[in-house]
A and B are shown apart, each in its own frame.
Chain A
Amino acid sequence: MERNIAYVALFAALIVVLGLLPKFNLLSGVPITAQSLGVMLCGVVLGAKRGALAVLLFLLLVAIGLPFLAGGRGGIGVFATPSVGFLIGWPVAAFVTGLIMQRSAPASILWRALVASVIGGIVVLYAFGIPGMALMLEKDLITAAGFAMPFVPGDIIKAVAAGAIAQGLYGMRPRALISVKG
């Protein structure tokens, strides 16, 4: 119980810290931050349930007015922006990422985390984000998908990073990767 609470709380804090890392621009000029890398890591390291709870806790803190989103934004207002679908999709993304991590065949941690992050952190996430954008901007799904596409290359980079980071963490604290048994 206590262990779960502590891990969930600290990984919510980790999402905040990653959101404050300096962002850098892709060749296309689209800025990317490491915040959604934090969401992937929650699933990869904590597994489905705890990972999703850590992201939910993070969103709760944002909603009550802490400036924890990348760029120091926060408050209920963020749930009225076109990115609301992505925010709602985050806990689900962490859940699916964690689930795949827990259930995947015993391959290298890097590949398992990479594949889990691509499916959970990109496919599942955009399945929420794009309809959210379509609803808020009154567009059809294809147009909304077009608006979201510039962010995909950045997210692929993050999934690769999540794989490498999971491998690194596993190398140093094999027991701390809760999602990986034995």
Chain B
Amino acid sequence: MEPLLIKVIIVIVLFVITLLVALYATFAERKVSAIMQDRIGPNRAGPFGLLQPLADGVKMIMKEELIPALANKWLFIIGPCIALLTALMTGAVVPWGGPIKIGDQVITLQVADLNIGILYIFGVVSMGVYGIMIGGWASNNKFSLIGAIRASSQMISYEIAMGLAIIALVMTTGTLSLNEIVLQQDEGWANIVIQPLGFLIFIICAFAETNRAPFDLPECETELVGGYHTEYSSMKLGFYLFAEYINMFISSAVIVCFYFGGYNFPFQHELAELLGLSSNALSIIQTVFMFGKVFFFIFFFMWVRWTIPRFRYDQLMTLGWKVLLPLALANIFVTGLVMWGMGKI
């Protein structure tokens, strides 16, 4: 097959999987919260309520489209589009499994193995906040505007700590490519062992980045009605909500790749040898493991959301600038010292 055709197929498959996971993440969130709160959760549509996401989707599309009279119409539409677009673009550099050999063709389960994968993720994710900012501003509503301002200031405070946490990781791995980071963890330890503090900072920032509780200030409903999406209705609202779940999925995938060995699992080569697995079979098992880890982190996101309260705006800033940033800097410094001590630089 043409390499281009294969890529196109991978893109489409990834697109569909991302949407499906996001779709069912909404369902999972409702079920998880229901279990935690001693409720039943959605169980009307289909067996065990499994068709609930579809029903929600249909509802979203069928609802009346409403653009406020004084809103900036084009920006109002562009806002949710950017949010969803950037959310979907991030998944391109994540390696979902080992290579699969068909005949003499080697297919890597990754859309693009960029050598600057980490920078790409950061670039795209940072653009995601434009969706929220533009949407909040264009709504011409004070609650939306406050939500948008909160989103952008939150973004700035957390992006830096997140970036610094990654710099320490890049120092130890020596590469910006996600694929290589994952491959390195095949032989040696998972990066969580090498960079525990970096992981902690990264996951906190990931919560802030995805606007999930306890950092869901831009949309906190008890203060800002709906936050930046107060004025949104129908599928445009759906785009925002969807983008949040896609972001959660991709963040989980990135966390897994950075710190938990990506698609690798312990003793994989020993297992393959023991059972006499072909490399293709191993790759498939690896992909299953990858998704297992990702689903665990999606659950973790939900777990946290339904357990702890939300920060106040100024406390969030304090945490970002006065706690996480110095910690991330210290992490880089200590990492450098240890590497120097081990003679790696």
Q: Do A and B come from one complex?
A: no
Binding site for B on A (CB under 8 A): none
Binding site for A on B (CB under 8 A): none
